[in-house]
Structure 1
Amino acid sequence: MYALLILDIQVGLVHGPDKLWRCEELLETLNTLMDNARSAGAPIFLARHIGPAGSPIEPGSPLTMVAQELKLQGGEVVFEKRRPNAFEMTDLADNLRSCGATGVVVTGMKTQYCVDSTCRAARDLGFDAVLIAEGHTCSDTPVMKAEDIVAHHNATLDGPFCQLVRAEEWSF
């Protein structure tokens, strides 16, 4: 069984100063994936990135709350993380194993940080990792456009670190 993992779809990123590439489409994709996971009885995990005290994303900051555009129904597991890798210093691996998940479908943001490191870590921890090709995003950087960052990571991660699948081709 695969669990759905949504990384850092939180107020401070979705509604922050940096424009995210294809954000509206991403939110629609994530809501559809959550509906599909619920229909299949697959668990849904949402990570919220928390920063140090005094930072804009310090514990308790409204910027760390799950973005209201995600249609949560109450059965999801929402957890906090403090590192890009969602497994690091969290109970995610134990929670996946305890619900019988042998694989994790990785989505969310930001592509080059949390999505990348979580995909890489999943395999190391013995989980089959699936990356939804259009299920993650980021913002432009001074060096590269967000669209190119996403394409680069899709190409780099597919194979050695995860299986790249389009959302409409995935079923839980």
Structure 2
Amino acid sequence: MAAALLIIDMQRGLYDGPQKPFERERVLHTINQLIRRARTANAPILVARHTGPAGSPIEAGSSLWQLWGGLEVDESRDYLFNKTRPSCFLGTDLAQKLAQTRISELVIVGMKTQFCVDTTCRVAVELGFSVVLPQDGHTCMVTPALTAMAIIDHHNETLAGVFVKRMSAAEVSFMQPVPKM
């Protein structure tokens, strides 16, 4: 099973906006560790940027739309794409790109847990992909109704089993299993 790392919305406007993501430094460190492991295994790295309409703070090309500087993405070799919806699939060529490269499993990380991470996990499964969700590789902000930790815990529990294989980032491997003879 060929796996790829999908990083969602790790952009300046979300990561470093007025409301800071929960445990943002730890999550960034975790994602960068996964990037390094994916590179070592020659696994594809796909990076989604949420793009707002013209005039919005996160319109294409704006400062807040850019990827967070501490993210170890290499724009010359990683596949960056723009999305305008919570799903990384709707209105993008992500599914076609994955089919072309024969990717059948996605390791999904990034922001925001209750919106783009959740939606992309569910849609990926509907499209026939296997999904790994590192329980410590996604984050969000506090809301008036729930703490960020409650949102993250809820989604880790809700998505596990039916939609994703939940594990810690340290358990994620991009290495191909050796076929049995």
- TM-score, length-normalised on structure 2? 0.93
Name the residue aligned to 2:20: 19
* Distance in 2 of aligned mates of 1:29 and 1:58: 27
Give the deviation of 1:59 after TM superposition.
2.2
Give the deviation of 1:60 after TM superposition.
1.9
Name the residue aligned to 1:112: 114
Give the deviation of 1:99 after TM superposition.
1.1
Give the greater-gyration-radius structure (CA): 2
* Distance in 1 of aligned mates of 2:49 and 2:60: 10
Instruction: State the SS of the aligned residue for 1:6.
Output: strand
Give the deviation of 1:66 after TM superposition.
0.8
Instruction: State the SS of the aligned residue for 1:75.
Output: coil
Match of 2:78 among 65, 73, 76: 76
* Distance in 2 of aligned mates of 1:19 and 1:13: 8
Unaligned runs of 5+ in 2: 175-181
* Distance in 1 of aligned mates of 2:38 and 2:59: 31
* Distance in 2 of aligned mates of 1:10 and 1:2: 23
> Which consecutive segments of 4 or more residues in structure 1 shift more than 4 A?
none
- TM-score, length-normalised on structure 1? 0.98
Give the deviation of 1:97 after TM superposition.
1.3
Q: Which amino acid aligns with 1:127?
A: F
Instruction: State the SS of the aligned residue for 1:105.
Output: strand
Q: Deviations over 1:54-108 (max 9, x none)?
A: 2111222111111111112332111100000001100111111111211111100
Unaligned runs of 5+ in 1: none
Name the residue aligned to 2:105: 103
* Distance in 1 of aligned mates of 2:73 and 2:119: 25
Count of residues paired in the alignment: 172
* Distance in 1 of aligned mates of 2:166 and 2:107: 10
Give the deviation of 1:3 after TM superposition.
0.5
Name the residue aligned to 1:38: 39
Q: Deviations over 1:119-167 (max 9, x none)?
A: 0000000100111100000000000000110000000000111110111
